[in-house]
Amino acid sequence: MRAKTHSLVTGGLPYFAALASGFLLFAAFPLWRWSFLVWVALLPLIAALIRENRMSRGFFLGYITGMVFFASNCYWIVGVMKRYGGLSTALSFGILLLFAGLFSLIPGAFGLAEVIVARRSRIWGLCLSPCLWVGSEWARTYLFTGFPWDLLGYAVRAEGLQQMASTTGVYGLSFLAAATSAVILAAIIYPRRKWLWVFLAGWVVGLVLTNRGLRPPRLAPGRADAILVQPNVPLAGAAADEWAPWIHPQPLDHLVEESIRAAQRLHAKQPPLLVWPEDSAPFYFDRDPVFRAALETMAKDSGAYVIAGTVTFKNGSLSMPQNSAVVLNPEGQLLLRYDKIHLVPFGEYVPWWAFPGKTGKITAQVGDFVPGTHVRVAKTAEGTVGVFICYEAIFPQLITRFVRAGAQVLVNISDDGWYGNSSAGEEHFWMARFRAIENHRYLLRDTNNGITAIVDPYGRVVQRIRRNRFGILVGGFQYLTGETFYTKHGDVFAGVVTALGLLGVASSAVNGRRRRKAPVRKSEVTS
């Protein structure tokens, strides 16, 4: 009886470990704010994988961790699909599970790869686990339309360590967190090897000293001015009685007047940037003369460069809407139109893998949006501005293209009202901050209902407006030049460590095949 009980407990432990890692990953992010868990979040999963011999179960353990993490971390998808997509509770949960199940294939692949390596050597498995985890996150950035939401490195809150992102991107912080779990686990598994405890102590001290050594310096006050308007208007996808008043000129006129007053009170020596968010009002710049005239008037009367989100149509066709940003110069002339390149699945279009035509999307009043194809920047006499839209902020490789194109300040316009009062809005903001660090640029983030903020090139929040309120943020920034290592070379670090991990998997697989094919000596056969 004892043997059976012991067998049941032992057999169930790997699954509990996988569940635990999924929960720890979830708890490290803003809903619970236990960011310290980032350093041990992967420990239970890796512990289970390096003791596992079956590749299929290794995949399943990684898949369980992924399902727990994605389903809990992205819980807000249910509310979005219900309120704005018009789906039932059951269908909304179905979308969440479909989404979580699809992206859980990636941590499942991590589990499979880890077992292949650990079957050769547990130490080898521990050493390569950070490389394989970074490889899985890098894959998540591109596969299935890409969804690099809440990568492990984003939970690292140490201000000094965050500066590593200017060289490695956020993937370098993911590597540090995964490696810490592996080092702690190695010391636990091999307690008699004192050198491992010495190495663990040195690793921790190294992290602390690195964090202190990389703490960013204080910056001089910004010499350029920004006016960020947070209108807090209802979403275009909200109920008709909520946004109907905004189709009349009076609220739009009020927004214009408040923006102009803020600019006039500033008495700026050079034209400021006056920014409205994505979806600030339900008007179309190309097809609504009232809205267009309002923006042109605002630019002229404020003497500012005006940046605003709007919906445009490719080649003028109503069947090809585009989520766009326009930049007007102080004379009211159109300086730039940028069309959003990376669209939101289920928000702006339905992915091919989600049964398009049968599964709806939350912006149901227009057809599937058409993505833009080119990164464009606005060149002004004061500096060059790069504008990107909402969800694009979580794709580091995309934002570097704006800086390579000459952007000296980054402007992110967004409408996070879709998330309601969930933790997703704060998570989105936290990820956007890393784009400032990676490229050493000021980030001006303007949202409809929050979080609107000015972020310095080291990721520090200079000023912000709280969520769900009207406000106008006036603050300084600088147009900066130069390129970081990450801006120039992109995901070189992620590519190198992923390659190391894959080489380790390939070597272990070949070695394991040779062992199975090797002839058995007679002396090794026992009766």
DSSP state letter for 16 = H
Is the distance from CB of 462 to CB of 455 less than 8 angstroms? Answer: yes
Residue type, 347: G
d(CA 363, CA 147): 19
Kindly tell me the burial class for residue 177, based on how many C-beta atoms sit within 10 Å of its own C-beta (0-12, 13-18, 19 or more).
buried
Kindly tell me the burial class for residue 135, based on how many C-beta atoms sit within 10 Å of its own C-beta (0-12, 13-18, 19 or more).
buried
Catalytic residue among 74, 127, 131, 390: 390
Active site residue 340: yes
Whole-number Cα distances in Å, 68 to 122, 168, 525: 26, 28, 45
Backbone dihedral region for residue 357 (phi beyond 0: left; psi -120 to 50: alpha; all else: beta): left
With b for 16 or more beta-carbon neighbours within 10 A and e for fewer, the 250-279 pattern comes to: eebeebbeebbebbeebebeebbbbbbbbb
Run of H or E residues at 335: strand 334-339
For residue 308, the tally of other CB atoms under 10 A from its CB is 28
Is the distance from CB of 448 to CB of 441 less than 8 angstroms? Answer: no
Active site residue 358: no
Catalytic residue among 74, 340, 392, 427: 340
* Bond preceding residue 227 cis, omega within 30 of 0: no
Strand partners, 516: none
Catalytic residue among 114, 137, 278, 392: 278
Phi, psi (degrees; rounded to nearest 5) at 447: -125, 160
Backbone dihedral region for residue 98 (phi beyond 0: left; psi -120 to 50: alpha; all else: beta): alpha
| 441-444-450-451 Cα dihedral, nearest 10 degrees | 30
Sheet bearing 305-313, strands edge to edge: 334-339, 321-328, 305-313, 273-275, 224-230, 471-477
Active site residue 278: yes
Residues 6+ apart with CB under 8 A from 381: 270, 271
Residues 6+ apart with CB under 8 A from 157: 35
Q: Which residues are catalytic?
A: 278, 340, 390
